Amino acid sequence: MDEYFALFPFTRAASECVRSLDFSVEDIVTGEGFSIEVLSRSSQRIKQALEGEIGRVDLDEDIKVKTELLSYPVARVMVSCINVHFLTQKYANGEAQFAFRKLESLNDGEAITFIGRLLQDFNIEAELIEDENRYKFHFTDFVRFTSGLRDSRWNLVNVMNEGHVELAKKEVMKILQQAIRLKVLKGPPLKPSSKICNSLSSDIKSIIATLDSSMSKSGDFGAIDTEAYPPCIRELISLVQSGKSLSHTARFALTAFLANIGMSADDIVHFYENSPDFDFEFTRYQVEHIMGSSGTEYTSPGCSTMETYGNCNWKDKICKSISHPLSYYRKMSARKRSSTRNARNYTDVTV
């Protein structure tokens, strides 16, 4: 079997291969033997993504290639079953980085081949300028994938010429990493059935235990330092940053929280930009209204209200000692200030 599918199992080509193997997720879940290996690797992918980086496996035997290939769709289903966005985000980042590392480790010839196949899979028209080892991207294919990248070399203004951007191999790999992250984040079009999720319950329980300990460690969400934020708020932030839309109550809770802790109106509006129904004027109006333009400055809702509206789906240890998200924040900020600074292990979260 073509190693490519196992190395990059999120591709369309890989999905087609899975289909042709006549395996369904149900088979994996209910079967034995071979399936146990797949389930084990699926759990491993998720846990390793949560705690650091996904580790490579040997692909020297056909059975190992098949296991690796199938472990991705099963893992993705597990992630969908759990449905905690913080996890989905971490997982997508993990898979994307994993793919990047694999690409980096290839020799020139292999890299060019695999890059070519991946570009095609993502519908990116990039011209390889052979002798110069460069790729020429149309600017639309460049900007599609640079929203998560901060360095000035990813700003169109610094690199475009005649509607195109030229990139070295390494940079193309970075772009592919972003494309992969977005794809894994999006996940399969249909939610898994409760039957499937139930069959996976023991693996899921184990993953959730890892999630619990991972979430209470430092969570670096990029520009916004969410370390002192309660899990409910971090979850909402995670959703917004991924371009998901929030319910009305969730939006209110999040906006009010950010306003209450001192974020400026501009920053809050800017933060909502990726929402699918983002309307600049309306969001601005909403934010200003919550911040008191009509005379009342609103306070974000307390824990029981968050629970009532389904906006509290995750409680950690500290949650048990407070009854308002702002209290959580105050407690955690105070702790941060008083504790000695330790060297922290940041996982490279590209947001």
Interacting residue ranges for another protein, rule: CB under 8 A: 134, 138-140, 143-144, 146-147, 152-153, 155-164, 166-168, 170-171, 245, 273-274, 276-281
CA-nearest of 118, 32, 18 to 72 is: 18
Query: What secondary structure letter does DSSP report for 224?
Result: E
Kindly tell me which of 56 and 170 has the beta carbon lying closer to another protein.
Answer: 170
Count, residues in the chain? 351
Kindly tell me which of 138 and 315 has the beta carbon lying closer to another protein.
Answer: 138
Q: How far is the CB of 289 from another protein (least distance, A)?
A: 18
User: Can you tell me which residue has the tokens 């789906």?
Assistant: 313
Kindly tell me which of 68 and 171 has the beta carbon lying closer to another protein.
Answer: 171
CA-nearest of 104, 36, 101, 103 to 74 is: 36
Cβ-Cβ contacts under 8 Å for 77 (sequence gap 6 or more): 25, 188, 192, 196, 197, 200
Kindly tell me which of 244 and 330 has the beta carbon lying closer to another protein.
Answer: 244
Output the CA–CA distances (angstroms, integers) from residue 27 to 43, 70, 125, 196, in the order listed: 17, 11, 37, 10
The sign one gets for the Cα dihedral 19, 20, 26, 29 is negative
Whether 59 contacts 69, CB under 8 Å: no
State both tokens at 47: 């846990």
Q: How far is the CB of 274 from another protein (least distance, A)?
A: 7
Q: How far is the CB of 256 from another protein (least distance, A)?
A: 22
Q: How far is the CB of 165 from another protein (least distance, A)?
A: 8
Kindly tell me which of 221 and 298 has the beta carbon lying closer to another protein.
Answer: 221
DSSP string, 96-134: HHHHHHHHHTS-HHHHHHHHHHHHHHTT--EEEEGGGTE
Residue 182's identity, in one-letter code, is: L
Q: How far is the CB of 260 from another protein (least distance, A)?
A: 26
Kindly tell me which of 40 and 285 has the beta carbon lying closer to another protein.
Answer: 285
Q: How far is the CB of 63 from another protein (least distance, A)?
A: 40
Q: How far is the CB of 349 from another protein (least distance, A)?
A: 18
CB-CB neighbours of 16 under 10 Å: 11
Kindly tell me which of 61 and 151 has the beta carbon lying closer to another protein.
Answer: 151
